[in-house]
Amino acid sequence: MKILGASGKIVVLIIIVGLISLMGYAIFGNRVSIKTSPLIGTQAPDFNLKTFDGQDLKLSDLEGKTVLLNFWASWCMPCKQEAGALERAWQKYKGDDVVFVGVNVWDENSNALKYLSKFGGGYPHALDPDEEIQIDYGVGGVPETFFIDSSGMVRDKFTGPLTEQIIDYFVLKAQKPQENES
Amino acid sequence: MTRLTLKNSLSVLTIISILVFSGLVSIAEEGIDDQTTSIANLLMCPVCQGQSVGESNSNLANDMRDIIRKQLEEGKSQEEILAYFVSSYGESILASPPPKGINWILWLLPGAGIIIGGVIITLFLFRAQKEDGSEDRKEIETIAKSQDEYINKVDEEIKKSDS
């Protein structure tokens, strides 16, 4: 019993080929412009944080410097894993107009202070009193790190524990003038 | 007496004013709560498996609901609030993708699938019915023909035996 005629078969074939092409485009197409965050290439959302030693810390005050903004929590194992690399990298870059800022999110204050005494390092760590910075930066989990160039533009985002090599790569990239990456 | 009545009237008026004001406040609160929930349901929780911000109890979803509420209190519209979340998390934060660009496929594909599927099923049933009908007719004709031959033979035999 014939279900479709010759023309029907051609139509079905065209539909199947079209769907496969669309799936291929969705999976493999335009990969160059895939970004890890919609903030990349845009001005970094300004923040007004309170450091654990009571100082105000504004992003706008850091203009002209490369900023590494690292989101962490005391309960986060990968944050402990990357703490050593962050400290070593901070020691290396602190004279080069590179500022490291740790932002504690979704945490208890007492646990955060205990964590800082063990893993904190020498750079400033802060809290957002309004608990909005993590949403402003589209943070979904910890650790997440943003690299902001001297003009205040978000250059990259890295999700997961950092190593010294990863920090070097993104800090040096943020220090270079932006090229057309699209 | 008159002074007492006036005093009583003022007291009653004050109580009524307080009740009306608190009622209006609670109505406004309910309105913001409902709006917060409806906007939260339009956003997917970025750290949950298939849950909206309205459904999830994660810290992130709680923060997002607080921000929705705060922005509503600041007088921002639903579109402005959704745009804020899209600017931070990208379009994947939206529970239903906006109908533009390649997203149109997601909107059109289910309808197109139903129409194409319907056409194929109709064609299949139509042809199957047509072919079944013609086969049945052929079978009936064959049976009728063989029965005619048999009856003819019987008639001939009867005629022979009569003669």
User: In this structure, are B1 and B64 located in the same domain?
Assistant: yes
pLDDT for residue A182: 45
User: In this structure, are B88 and B26 located in the same domain?
Assistant: yes
Residue B47: closest CA among chain A residues belongs to which residue? Answer: A140
Give the pLDDT mean for B88-109.
82
DSSP chain B: -HHHHHHHHHHHHHHHHHHHHHHHHHHHHHHHHHHHHHHHTTBB-TTSSS-BTTT--SHHHHHHHHHHHHHHHTT--HHHHHHHHHHHH-GGGBSS--SSTTHHHHHHHHHHHHHHHHHHHHHHHHHHHHHHHHHHHHHHHHHHHHHHHHHHHHHHHHHHHH-
* Residue A24 to chain B, least CA–CA distance (Å): 13
Question: Which of B96, B118, B143 marks a domain boundary?
Answer: B96
User: In this structure, are B75 and B109 located in the same domain?
Assistant: no
Q: Kindly list the residues from chain B whose CB atom is less than 8 angstroms away from the CB atom of residue A139.
A: 60
Among A residues 46-105, those touching chain B with beta carbons less than 8 Å apart: none
Amino acid (one-letter) located at A73? A
Percent of chain B's residues with pLDDT above 90: 39
Beta-ladder partners of A56: A50
User: In this structure, are B92 and B103 located in the same domain?
Assistant: no
Q: Is A106 on the interface with B (CB under 8 A)?
A: yes
Question: Which of B96, B113, B148 marks a domain boundary?
Answer: B96
Question: Which of B96, B122, B151 marks a domain boundary?
Answer: B96
Percent of chain B's residues with pLDDT above 70: 83
- We report the CATH number of the domain holding residue B77 as 1.10.8.640
Instruction: Answer with the residue of higher pLDDT: B45 or B1.
Output: B45
User: In this structure, are B5 and B33 located in the same domain?
Assistant: yes
Mean pLDDT across chain B, nearest whole number? 84
User: What's the pLDDT band for B107 if we cut at 50, 70, 90?
Assistant: confident
pLDDT for residue B3: 59
User: In this structure, are B43 and B68 located in the same domain?
Assistant: yes
Give the pLDDT mean for B32-48.
95
Q: Total domain count for chain B?
A: 2
pLDDT at B19 over 90: no
Burial class (CB in 10 A: 0-12, 13-18, 19+), B160: exposed
Mean pLDDT across chain A, nearest whole number? 90
Inspect the interface and report whether the beta carbons of B63 and A134 lie closer than 8 Å. Answer: yes
pLDDT for residue B146: 85
Backbone angles phi, psi at A4, to 5 degrees: -120, 145
User: In this structure, are B92 and B128 located in the same domain?
Assistant: no
Q: Could you tell me if A80 and A119 are in contact, meaning their C-beta atoms sit under 8 angstroms apart?
A: yes
The span from the CA of B54 to the CA of B31, in Å, is 16
The span from the CA of B82 to the CA of B70, in Å, is 13
pLDDT for residue A34: 54
Q: Is A12 on the interface with B (CB under 8 A)?
A: yes
Instruction: Answer with the residue of higher pLDDT: B67 or B109.
Output: B67
Q: Is A159 on the interface with B (CB under 8 A)?
A: no
| Residue position matching structure tokens 């519209």 | B77
* Residue A150 to chain B, least CA–CA distance (Å): 21
pLDDT at B43 over 90: yes
0.90 exceeded by pTM: no
Q: Kindly list the residues from chain B whose CB atom is less than 8 angstroms away from the CB atom of residue A35.
A: 90
Q: Could you tell me if A71 and A134 are in contact, meaning their C-beta atoms sit under 8 angstroms apart?
A: yes
| Residue position matching structure tokens 């944080």 | A49
Inspect the interface and report whether the beta carbons of B63 and A25 lie closer than 8 Å. Answer: no
What residues make up the domain containing B122?
99-163
**What value of ipTM does the predicted structure carry?**
0.78
* Residue B22 to chain A, least CA–CA distance (Å): 28
Give the pLDDT mean for B121-135.
79
pLDDT for residue A29: 63
Instruction: Answer with the residue of higher pLDDT: B123 or A1.
Output: B123
For chain A, list residues with pLDDT below 70.
Answer: 1-4, 26-35, 179-182
The span from the CA of A92 to the CA of A30, in Å, is 37
Of residues A1, A8, A140, nearest to B47 (C-beta) = A140
Specify the DSSP element, H or E, that contains A48: strand A48-51
User: In this structure, are B74 and B32 located in the same domain?
Assistant: yes
* Residue B78 to chain A, least CA–CA distance (Å): 17
